[in-house]
Structure 1
Amino acid sequence: MPNLRLSFLTPQDLPQVRATFLKAFADYVVPVQLSEEQLRDKVEREGIVPEFCVAAFDGEEMAGFILTALGDWQGMPTAYNAGTGVVPTYRGQGLTQQMYAFLLPKLREKGVRQCLLEVIEGNVPALKTYEKIGFYITRTLSCFRALKQDLLQEASPPAGINILEATQPDFAALSRFWDVQPTWQNSIASLNRSINQDRTLEARAASGEVVGYISVFRKNGAVAQLAVSREWRGKGIGTALLRAAMQQVEAPSLMFINVEDTAQSMISFLQGRDINLLLKQHEMLMPIPEKV
């Protein structure tokens, strides 16, 4: 095993992270592309802090990394793993465990109380690695995708409903429509961090009352949040919001990343519109142990 050097990163290291990311994910279960612009958007949206990102180096070559985002999760200071990558030739050497062992003291010193991540359900080696480190599964998530050309060629708003862009959406009020909590990258904090990337459309009744909304990232077509008031469901509002959001998106497809499996109303809605299941993930959490 080579003698790897572990180090925290700086913003200047991000181009090398991108190159290593592409190497590490070249054989991934789903094709991964990451342009420089996409990486910048990801850093902003997910709250990645380079100084808390770890990389392992073999000489000058980056062998692996953990991208770390910082924020609050369920009221607790949290480190979100926005991506772990290990170049294939360095796998099987416990590198992810080593990087976490290097990272945890700095997180503890910062007052971070827990670590959060998602892992693809079929990625058994990664799942076992994270369980060995101390993570446990909190919920199972589904990811859906549909090409815009296959979606909703005709979907006008129901009578008396107007779809309007929300310049300053009141997410605290809109969250009353939720059935489940969104994941880290779909959270209100994520939307607030990336106001130049996302767009929120509201469905308003004739009285002016907001009865549903959708927030979508325009470049990649990822729908962060879609919810309709329980009293207004089944009237075509969700479909109309989806159709309106589709017009805002530059990407060729719409994606719903990390829909909680207990959100049966949302899953039925997506399946009813031929939005297909792409893959499933587990959300995992690890309390950071007190220093011994």
Structure 2
Amino acid sequence: MRLHSLSLIDFPLIHQAFRLAFSDYLLPMQMDEEQLAAMLHRRGWRPELSIGAWRDGALVGLWLAGVHCDEAGPIGYCVATGVTPDARRQGLLQAMAAAVSRRLASRGIQRQQLEVISDNAAAMAAYLKLGFRPRRRLDCYRIEHALAVDAAPGWRCEAADRSQWPRWPLHSEPAVPNSRDSLERARPPLLLMTAKQNGDLLGYALYSAAGDVAELAVAPPHRRRGVARSLLAAVQRDTAAPALAISNLDADDDAGAGLLRSCGARLWLSQWEMRRP
């Protein structure tokens, strides 16, 4: 078995190994090359910090790493890690983790972070063994029915140029995939929906054409009036997506969860955000 940086590896080979490693994953992860490249770019993937494992000339393991910055400084972020089914239980995860840690440490980065699906007991056990510890739970919701709203709510929801994204203060620290630097890197660029009344901005939603709502905010004086529901309904109409997805809501955000439940959202997945040390 040989470990090596992914910095000079052709992306189609990485994509092929990724698809095979995630072929039996709990969630569908069979992205094409363009989709995988977009996900990695958005999450800040750094090939020179990432490690691949080879056996008999085949790429059989991946630890795709990036760098995220929070208030305490840079932190190594595991975008994704996987081992092909025929190469598991051979210590590859531990070996790749150690190699990535050395690369991060050489750049002065000691902390690391990742997310793991709460129902994935095997992955959770593996990351605990590597020294990661649960930090908080992140919940993912779906709205799969058309939202009914007041026909004349007193404000107007309309699409706006994303350059007008207000970036209001957030209720809680966003998960890395929802962090503002990640949202800035999204390709294609995210869309912006605003709610205004007499020229005043009441709230906004940042979302993708596929119906993924990345950020939803309402000004404090206008909360509990239906503004957020109107924004979500406007996003539904604009995207015509079969469902709206709101991912990685901090489980302690009772107000956010209450809003989504009032809109009939279904909690369909939870993840644990884990950190080391």
**Cα shift readout 1:147-177 (whole Å, capped 9, x = no counterpart):** 4xx22255657203443414323554x12xx
**Contact residue 155 and residue 243 of structure 1 kept, 8 A:** no
Q: Aligned letter for 1:217?
A: S
User: Partner of 2:212 in structure 1?
Assistant: 222
Q: CA deviation at 1:274?
A: 2.2
Q: CA deviation at 1:136?
A: 1.0
Find the aligned partners of 2:67 and 2:54 in 1 and give their Cα distance.
Answer: 23
Q: CA deviation at 1:252?
A: 3.3
Question: Does residue 154 of structure 2 align to residue 159 of structure 1?
Answer: yes
**Cα shift readout 1:197-232 (whole Å, capped 9, x = no counterpart):** 2112222232x33221111122x4321111212221
Question: Does residue 229 of structure 2 align to residue 232 of structure 1?
Answer: no
- The 5-angstrom pairing of residues 45-194 of structure 1 reads 45-147=42-144, 150-152=145-147, 156=151, 158-172=153-167, 174-175=168-169, 178-194=170-186
Unaligned runs of 5+ in 1: 288-292
Question: Does residue 200 of structure 2 align to residue 205 of structure 1?
Answer: no
Q: Structure 2 residue aligned with 1:252, among 242, 245, 252?
A: 242
**Contact residue 146 and residue 254 of structure 1 kept, 8 A:** yes
SS of 2:60 mapped into structure 1: strand
SS of 1:168 mapped into structure 2: helix
**Contact residue 187 and residue 224 of structure 1 kept, 8 A:** no
How many equivalent pairs are there? Answer: 277
Find the aligned partners of 1:20 and 1:153 in 2 and give their Cα distance.
Answer: 44
Name the CA shift for 1:90/1:264 in 2 (closer, same or farther; >3 Å): same
TM-score, normalisation: structure 2: 0.91
**TM superposition outliers: structure 1 runs of 4+ over 4 Å:** 153-157
Find the aligned partners of 1:94 and 1:152 in 2 and give their Cα distance.
Answer: 49
User: Partner of 2:2 in structure 1?
Assistant: 5
Q: Aligned letter for 1:253?
A: A
Unaligned runs of 5+ in 2: none
Find the aligned partners of 2:189 and 2:8 in 1 and give their Cα distance.
Answer: 20
Quick one: percent identity of the two aligned structures? 31
Indicate the RMSD between aligned Cα atoms, in angstroms.
2.1
